[in-house]
Structure 1
Amino acid sequence: MLWAYAQRLTSFRFLYILFVASSSVEHGSARITSTFIRSEWPSIDVPLDNEVFKVPKGYNAPQQVHIIQGDYDGKAVIISWVTTDEPGSSKVQYGTSQKKYDFSADGTMTNYTFYKYKSGYIHHCLVDGLQHYMQTGGQTVLFVGDLSYADRYKYNDVGIRWDSWSRFIEQSAAYQPWIWSAGNHEIEYMPNMGEVFPFKSYLHRFATPHLASGSSNPLWYSVRRASAHIIVLSSYSPYVKSTPQWKWLREELKKVDREKTPWLIVLMHAPIYSSNVAHYMEGESMRAVFESWFVRSRVDLIFAGHVHAYERSYRISNIHYNVSSGERYPIPDKSAPVYITVGDGGNQEGLAGRFYDPQPEYSAFREASYGHSTLEIMNRTHAFYHWNRNNDGRKVATDSVVFRNQYWASNLRRRRLKKIL
C-alpha cells in the first residue's frame, strides 16, 4: 500500500508519504539487503464478529462506503456504498458547508451473485463540480492490487469476505480517495463453483473513472491528482501491440502535460523489476512491451505489488537488449523510472522471504517484512519518499529517499536560461 500526498500525493499495498531523509536515488553501489527478520506466526482470520467488521445499526443503513476520484482533473468523486434490506435511493445530497446540502446527484444501483451468494444493493454516484482535493491536500491512497483475498475462500464465503473487508476499510476509504488497481486475487476464476467471469466481484463493487480518461475498460485508466498524473495499468488484461490497453496507453502518454502535472506515476500489480524469488520475472512481458515508453516519457515512479516484500530500484532500464547486442542486463539510465515493489501491506499467504543472492546492481534496498510507504510531493522538482516497517503495530522508519522529478529537475538549469533569454 502507498499513501501519497501531491502537495501532497498516497500508494496502498502501501505508499504513504511524509518527510524523509536525504538519500539520493541515483545509481550507486550502496545496495542494501536488510538483515531484519520478522518473526511470523500463522495467519489467523479476524473473527467476523469483530468490531472492525461491524454492520451499521438501522434499517437499510449504508455500509461499505468508499470514494474514488470521479473525473480526469480532480473536480469530481464517485461515492460508492451498499444497502442490504432494499435498494433504497441512489441519490447523494451535498453542499459547501456542513448541514447545508443544496445540491444533489443521482447515481446507479447494481448487484450480483457469486455461487449462491447474493450481494447487497451496490450504489455508485458521481458528484462533480467539486474542488475535493483542495480540502484534502491531494491526499490519496494508491492501492496496487490484491484487495480482500476473498478468492482464498469457497462458496458463499467469497462474497461474505468482500463485505467484511469493505466495511473494514471504510474508516479510511470513505474520507479520502483510493485509486484502485486490480491484482491476480481479484480475478476469481472459479469454474468449480460455476464462476468464470474474471474480476466479477471487483468490477461490481469498485467503480473507476475510466471513461473520463478515454479508457474502454475500468481495469486501466488515469487521473490527474493535484500535481501528479497517475496511470493505472492492468497486469492481467491483454497489453501487447494493438490491444485496447496498448492503444490507450500510447495515447494517454501523449496527453501528459508536465506543466500542469509535473509528476508522472504508474501503478501496476506484477512488478517489472524484482529480485525476489516469488513471482520472479512475471512482469517481464509487460516490461518488453512498455519499458521503452516509460523511459521516453520520463516516468518518475512505478509502483507494483504482488510480491509480499519491499524493494526499491535505482533508475535503470533494459531497453537496448536484443539477440545480437548481448546487453541483456539492466543498466543505469537517468531517464528511467524508479521501480518500487510495495506488496508488503499484509496478506494471508505470508511474506516472500527469499531474495536472489547476490543482490542485483539495479536493486537499491530490499526487505522481506510488512510495511507501508508514504510519498510527499513537495514541489515540481522534489518529492520525499519513506518506507516504514510495520513491527508489531509500531511504525519503524527504514528506507528514505529524496526523488528528483524526471522532467523538471533534469531540465531546471536549461529552463531557467530559457526564461532569462
Structure 2
Amino acid sequence: MSKVSALWNLHFQLLFLALVLLCSLDGVFSRSTSSFVRSGFSSVDIPLDNKVFAVPKGYNAPQQVHITQGDYDGKAVIISWVTSEEPGSSKVFYGDIKGTYDKSAEGKTTNYTYYKYRSGYIHHCVVDGLEYEKKYYYKIGTGDSSREFWFQTPPKIGPDVPYIFGIIGDLGQTYNSLSTFKHYLQSGAQSVLYLGDLSYADRYEHMDGERWDSWGRLVERSAAYQPWIWSTGNHEIEYAPHLGEFSTFKQYLHRYTTPYMASKSSSPLWYAIRRGPAHIIVLSSYSPFVKYTPQWLWLRDELKQVDREKTPWLIITMHVPLYNSNSAHYMEGESMRAVFESWFVQYKVDLVFAGHVHAYERSYRISNINYNITSGSRYPVPDKSAPVYLTVGDGGNQEGMAGSYLDPQPDYSAFREASYGHSTLELKNRTHAFYRWNRNDDGEQTPVDHVVFHNQYWANNRRRRRLRKHHASLDNMRYIQTY
C-alpha cells in the first residue's frame, strides 16, 4: 500500500470514529428537521363499501376480531369479537394443533346504544393457562359461520429474550391509514403498542358506531393474530351531551378491554403488563393524574414493582406527548410532565411513546425536573437518567398531517419529520435495542430514523461491563447513532 493510500485510509478511519462519537452524544450535534415533503394519498376516509371493510360471509359470523394480553405476564389473552344479528356463542375453542381444538373457554357478551346507534353483540373471552412461546389456534362462532385464527404467546419473562414491538398511533381509516397498516404487516413485529385515537368515529356524529365497526374490520388482519396493547386518546372520549351522551369512553370501553385488574389498577384506561424483556406501563392522558388521584396512586405503586433484573426495558405509553416541538398540541402534556417526569427519571424509564401530534419526533435524553418559576431554571437539560421521548402520532387519520414545527428546533429535539408512518422497537437483550421509524413515502415504506438504544438500568450497572464481551457480536451494527 502506498503512503498516500495509507494516509487516506487513516483519515477515513479517524473521520468515521469521530462521527460515531459525535452521534453517540445526547447533545445538539445531530439535531435535524427533515425537509421531506409528503405528496401521497389524501387524508380522506375510505368509503364504507370498500373491500377492506368487508363483512365476513355467513349468518352472524364473528367480525372485528382482536386480541390483547390477558394477564400481567403474557400467559393469557383476551379474545374479542362482534356478532351482528344475535348474541350467539361466546365460547372460544383452542389448541396447539391446527384444526384440533381440545380446550375451550367461556366468555361474556355485552352491547350498548350510543345516540341512535345500537351496537352488535360484543364478546370478550379470557383464555389463560397458556404456555410461553407456543402457537395456538382458535375458533369462534358456530357452524358454517365459524372462523379460525391463531396467535403466538411471548417468550418467558427474562432479561435477554429478544422481542419486537410495533408502535402505531392515531391510525384512523383513510388511504394513508391503510398504507401505514399494510407496511406494519410486513414489519415482523410480534405485538403492537397502540398510542390512542383509534377509529376517529367521533367525526361522524350521526353514524359514529358504523365507523367503529369498519375500523374493527380494517385492523382485524393483524389484531386477530397478535396482541394490540391499547391506550386511549381524545377521540375515544366521546362526551356528547347534545346527543344525550354524558359518559366518557363509552364505545371504547365496551369494545376494547384490557387486563387492568392484573396490575391492581382501578380502571381499564391505565394498567401495566410484562412481556418478554419489557415492563410496559400504559397511562391515560385524559383521566385525572394529579397527586392522590387513583392513576397517580397506582403509578406510584406500579413503578415500585418493576424488576429490572427480569424486565430490564421500562417503557411507558400515553397519548399526549410530554415533549413536543410541533405547533400542533404544543405544551399540552405539560401538566402531566410536571407530575410524573421526576418519577420517570428516578426509575430510569427507557422510552416514552406518545401520539396525538400527527407527525414524528424523537428527543434526546433530557429532563426539566429542576424547573422553578422563581429560579429561572425553565429549560430542559441533558439528563442521562431520563427517557427518550418519541411521538408516533402519524398513522394517517382524516385530520391530516401536522406540518408546522417550531423554528428554531429546540435543543431537546433530535429528529423530526412531518410524515405518516410507524415504528418498530427490537429489544435484543438487556443492554441494547434497535429502533426504527418507517416513513410511508408516497405509498412505499422508507426507513428514515434508526437508533441503537442503551438500556437505562444496565447501562449504569457494573455488571454491564462484564456483559460487553458476551454481546460484542450484535448484528445489524449498521446502526450508528446510540443513546
Report the TM-score, using the length of structure 2 for normalisation: 0.80
**Is this contact kept in 1: 2:65–2:217, CA < 8 A?**
yes
Counterparts in 2 of 1:55 and 1:132: CA distance versus 1, 3 Å: farther
Distance 1:321 1:220 in 2: 27
Summarize deviations over 1:193-250 as a string: whole Å, max 9, x none: 1112110000000010000000000000010011100000000000000000000000
Summarize deviations over 1:119-153 as a string: whole Å, max 9, x none: 00000000001135554455110100000000001
Pairing of 1:98-177 with structure 2 (within 5 A): 98-131=98-131, 133-135=133-135, 136=152, 138=163, 139-155=190-206, 157-177=207-227
Distance 1:41 1:101 in 2: 43
**Is this contact kept in 1: 2:75–2:132, CA < 8 A?**
yes
Distance 1:415 1:242 in 2: 40
Query: 3-state SS of the aligned residue for 2:230?
Result: strand
Query: 3-state SS of the aligned residue for 2:295?
Result: helix
> Do residues 85 (structure 1) and 95 (structure 2) align?
no
Summarize deviations over 1:255-295 as a string: whole Å, max 9, x none: 00011111000000000000000000000000000000000
**Is this contact kept in 1: 2:70–2:126, CA < 8 A?**
yes
Aligned to 2:142: none
**Is this contact kept in 2: 1:239–1:246, CA < 8 A?**
yes
Counterparts in 2 of 1:78 and 1:324: CA distance versus 1, 3 Å: same
Structure 1 range deviating more: 375-384 or 133-142: 133-142
Aligned to 1:96: 96
Residue 60 of structure 1 deviates from its aligned partner by 1.0
Residue 97 of structure 1 deviates from its aligned partner by 1.4
Which of 345, 362, 366 is matched with 2:395 structurally?
Answer: 345
Summarize deviations over 1:155-208 as a string: whole Å, max 9, x none: 2x1000000110010000000000000000000111221112110000000010
Structure 1 range deviating more: 26-35 or 342-351: 26-35
**Is this contact kept in 1: 2:365–2:386, CA < 8 A?**
yes
Distance 1:63 1:78 in 2: 15
Aligned to 1:248: 298
**Is this contact kept in 2: 1:112–1:204, CA < 8 A?**
yes
Letter in 1 for 2:213: D
Summarize deviations over 1:98-136 as a string: whole Å, max 9, x none: 122111111110000011111000000000011355544
Query: 3-state SS of the aligned residue for 1:181?
Result: coil
Letter in 2 for 1:302: V
**Is this contact kept in 2: 1:24–1:403, CA < 8 A?**
no
Aligned to 2:234: 184
Residue 73 of structure 1 deviates from its aligned partner by 0.3
> Do residues 402 (structure 1) and 426 (structure 2) align?
no
Query: 3-state SS of the aligned residue for 2:389?
Result: strand
Residue 413 of structure 1 deviates from its aligned partner by 4.6
Aligned to 1:14: none
Distance 1:151 1:239 in 2: 24
Distance 2:51 2:404 in 1: 35
Aligned to 1:8: none
Counterparts in 2 of 1:118 and 1:132: CA distance versus 1, 3 Å: farther
Pairing of 1:18-417 with structure 2 (within 5 A): 24=24, 26-39=26-39, 42-131=42-131, 133-135=133-135, 136=152, 138=163, 139-155=190-206, 157-413=207-463, 416=466
Summarize deviations over 1:339-394 as a string: whole Å, max 9, x none: 00000111101111001010000000001111111110000000000011101221
**Is this contact kept in 1: 2:431–2:464, CA < 8 A?**
no
Residue 414 of structure 1 deviates from its aligned partner by 6.6
- Name the larger-Rg structure: 2
Distance 2:108 2:456 in 1: 41
**Is this contact kept in 2: 1:76–1:132, CA < 8 A?**
no
Runs of at least 5 residues in structure 2 that lack an aligned partner in the other structure: 1-19, 136-151, 155-162, 164-189, 468-483
Letter in 2 for 1:410: N
Residue 47 of structure 1 deviates from its aligned partner by 1.3
Runs of at least 5 residues in structure 1 that lack an aligned partner in the other structure: 1-20
Residue 41 of structure 1 deviates from its aligned partner by 5.9
Aligned-pair Cα RMSD in Å: 1.7
Residue 415 of structure 1 deviates from its aligned partner by 6.9
Query: 3-state SS of the aligned residue for 1:286?
Result: helix
Normalized per residue, the structure richer in helix is: 2
**Is this contact kept in 1: 2:314–2:349, CA < 8 A?**
yes
Distance 2:348 2:360 in 1: 23
Report the TM-score, using the length of structure 1 for normalisation: 0.91
**Is this contact kept in 2: 1:25–1:403, CA < 8 A?**
no
**Is this contact kept in 2: 1:69–1:179, CA < 8 A?**
yes
Summarize deviations over 1:13-68 as a string: whole Å, max 9, x none: xxxxxxxx996473342100001111266432211111110001111110000000
Distance 1:410 1:62 in 2: 50
Query: 3-state SS of the aligned residue for 2:216?
Result: helix
Letter in 2 for 1:298: K
Counterparts in 2 of 1:226 and 1:25: CA distance versus 1, 3 Å: farther
Residue 324 of structure 1 deviates from its aligned partner by 3.0
Counterparts in 2 of 1:40 and 1:101: CA distance versus 1, 3 Å: closer
Residue 327 of structure 1 deviates from its aligned partner by 1.1
Residue 410 of structure 1 deviates from its aligned partner by 2.3
**Is this contact kept in 2: 1:43–1:348, CA < 8 A?**
yes
Aligned length: 396
Summarize deviations over 1:305-345 as a string: whole Å, max 9, x none: 00000000000000011133321100000000000000011
Distance 1:85 1:142 in 2: 32
Aligned to 1:12: none
Query: 3-state SS of the aligned residue for 2:210?
Result: helix
Residue 96 of structure 1 deviates from its aligned partner by 2.0
Aligned to 1:17: none
